[in-house]
A and B are shown apart, each in its own frame.
Chain A
Amino acid sequence: MDAPATERGASDPAAERSPRRDRERRAFIYGFVAIAVVAALPTLPFVNDYLLAVVVRALIFIALGQAWNVVAGIGGLLSLGHGAFLGLGCYATGILFNDYGLPPWLGVWVGALLSLAVALVMGTMTLRMRGVFFALATIAVSLALDQLARHYVDLTGGDNGLALKFLGDSLWFMQSRTPTPFVYAGLVFVIAYYWITRWVLGSRLGLQMRAVRDDEVAAAAAGVGVFRTKLLGLLLSAVMTSVAGTLYMQSYQAIDPETAFGLSQAIQLQLPALIGGLGTAWGPIVGGAVMIFLSEATNWGSTKLGVAGIDILVYGLLLLAVVMYAPKGIMGLFAARARGGR
């Protein structure tokens, strides 16, 4: 279904073209059907706002997972504090809107620039090192931003967080009383991020990132500038996360330090790609959908049973099972099946 960037068929392009085209055609059909179903949801009479809010949540986390997938899945850089870029996007948009009346259409770019700057500094300092330093640095940056957000109460609302001033339904201010506009906005994000991922995977940059992920020393021996490649991957992912953060902010209308920079949020950002399949264009989409479905299903079951907290336990166990039995994610299972049938 999802073939990561490939020059396959270099030996005999004609022979390979057909199966690949078939796969791409199938992927296009699945994607088109999925888009049509999601786009039609708000028009269906039995779909209420709660269900739409769940769909919005899924779409936002798919987009965030797609952004994380670029740096971690394709580039192999374990960013454990990617919430930092989500938080920067949220806070930048929120502060500029509340305090300066700047619409999110503009605030989003300020957040993106801030994320770019933070990623640039963080990457320049850590990406030449080997091992876990980068992962630790991302956590450190997240923690630092968390403390800053708690400290500058006048600007960020401190521990209580920041709530957007609600000015009524407005496209210009990206505000709505119902989740419907965010379903479409989320859909646009997921489609755009899917194409960005596809572009990266098929590009020279994508090939470089995959080479670096597989073996840095061999990548350098193949002429790949390892540091530059890692940095470009990180910058792209940081901007994507930050821009998706604006959608998060406009949809939820509020943000607080724990939600933005907390470890649990950082893990949530990673799950779509981990469940769906790291380094693939479809992985975060499938994984994000499964993640939100599991979360909602276990939550519903727990409420029905009247056992508080059981949902988190079951949810955790299910995720553990996915990771244990499908370490390459759901897309990895598809790929294995496709190979077996070849």
Chain B
Amino acid sequence: MTAAVALEVSNVARHFGGLVALRDVSFKVREGEVMGLIGPNGAGKSTLFEIISGNLAPSGGQVSFFGRDCTTDPAHVRRRAGLCRTFQKVRLFESMSVSENIAVSARQCLPPGHDWRAEVVSILARLRLSGQADRMPSEITLADRKKVEIGRAIAGFCRVLMLDESLSGLTHEEAEELIGEILALNRDTGITVIVVEHVLSVLAAMVKRLVVLHNATVIADGAPGEVAHDPVVIEAYLGTKANALR
């Protein structure tokens, strides 16, 4: 049986004055899928991310979440519906402890009748952050800050998790660990994951499907192996075949 379509982006376009940031971007993400979104700087990844999460209105097109058009829904409504995200540059609530950061979304997004405190404890344990619960964000490592942001993103109710370059700035070991956490999350809870990254080799280890953005539109959509060998992708984005697989 085919999984339901979790997220559908249909003909999305965005202009900033005369600058075309996105044009006619369309793709679907199925429930439970781990999908990668790559593209060089200026390809439109961040703009697309902001449009999907509700921080930016598209100039045209539609975003649907589990079959429901959410194009005009504000960001917090999408989040409560289970469309969750992290940020390229980690944005934690700096005046709050690690557990409070996670508590914000747990208290907002948890369905009625559930204990938000238990949710916070459970997420801290899942991300192996229990020992950091009472620390302030400024007192923890970048890797843990990224984990806290993921914890905040999934707390309460999450059906699709969008990660914006969550691996950047991490050491190889830290990135490996985080990838493990993300894949475990997908495996254990069935959360759909969309990962935006620059480096194809990192994504190839994580995802079964890649969407490549270039010059404001989708130029490839397929398995990482296929995409890495796609001449259009190589020419437009990756430069050489050797770079593609590095």
Contacts and interface: CB of A to CB of B under 8 A. Distances in A.
A218 B130 contact: no
Contacts of B96: 210-211, 214
Given A11-B130, A218-B87, A223 B156 contact: yes
Contacts of A16: 134
Interface in B74-98: 74-76, 79-80, 84-85, 87, 91-97
Interface string B88-130: 0001111111011001110111000000010011001000001
Interface of A: 4-12, 16, 204, 207-208, 210-211, 213-215, 217-226, 279
A207 B76 contact: no
A12 B135 CA distance: 13
B91 A215 contact: yes
A7 B99 contact: yes
B97 A8 contact: yes
Pick the 5 closest A-B CB pairs, nearest first. A223-B108, A11-B133, A10-B99, A220-B75, A222-B105
The main secondary structure of chain B at its interface with chain A is: helix
Contacts of A12: 130, 133
Given A12-B130, A211-B104, A222 B121 contact: no
A221 B92 CA distance: 11
Contacts of B79: 220-223
Interface residues of B, number: 38
A218 B92 contact: yes
Nearest to A4: B95
Interface centre among B91, B104, B120, B130 (most CB of A within 10 A): B104
A195 B53 CA distance: 37
18 contacts: A7-B99, A9-B133, A10-B103, A10-B133, A11-B99, A11-B121, A11-B124, A11-B133, A12-B130, A211-B93, A215-B91, A215-B92, A219-B93, A220-B55, A221-B91, A222-B155, A223-B156, A224-B108
A223 B109 contact: yes
A204 B95 contact: no
B95 A214 contact: yes
A218 B85 CA distance: 9
Interface string B9-45: 0000000000000000000000000000000000000
A210 B100 CA distance: 10
Given A8-B99, A223-B79, A223-B108, A215 B93 contact: yes
B140 to A, nearest CB: 13
Contact of B80 (A4, A11, A223): A223
A8 B134 CA distance: 5
Nearest to A223: B108
Given A11-B121, A12-B133, A207 B107 contact: yes
B153 interface: yes
B99 A221 contact: no
Contacts of B76: 219-226
A221 B133 contact: no
A6 B134 CA distance: 9
B152 interface: yes
Nearest to B131: A11
B107 A204 contact: yes
Nearest to B103: A7
Nearest to A215: B91
A250 B133 CA distance: 48
A40 B23 CA distance: 74
A204 B131 CA distance: 24
A138 B91 CA distance: 29
Given A207-B107, A217-B55, A7 B100 contact: yes
Nearest to A8: B134
A46 B87 CA distance: 62
A207 B133 contact: no
Nearest to B149: A218
Contacts of B152: 222
Contacts of A8: 97, 99-100, 133-134
B120 A10 contact: yes
Given A5-B100, A213-B95, 9 more contacts: A8-B100, A9-B99, A11-B131, A16-B134, A207-B104, A210-B96, A214-B94, A221-B84, A221-B85
A211 B91 CA distance: 11
Nearest to B132: A11
Contacts of A6: 97, 100
Contact of B100 (A207, A217, A220): A207
Instruction: Give the interface centre of B84, B85, B133 by most chain A CB atoms within 10 Å.
Output: B133
Contacts of A210: 93, 95-96
Nearest to B91: A218
A223 B104 CA distance: 8
Contacts of B103: 7, 10, 207
A166 to B, nearest CB: 47
A221 B95 CA distance: 17
Nearest to B156: A223
A225 B74 CA distance: 9
Contact of B134 (A11, A204, A214, A279): A11
Contacts of B93: 210-211, 214-215, 218-219
A5 B93 CA distance: 13
A217 B75 CA distance: 9
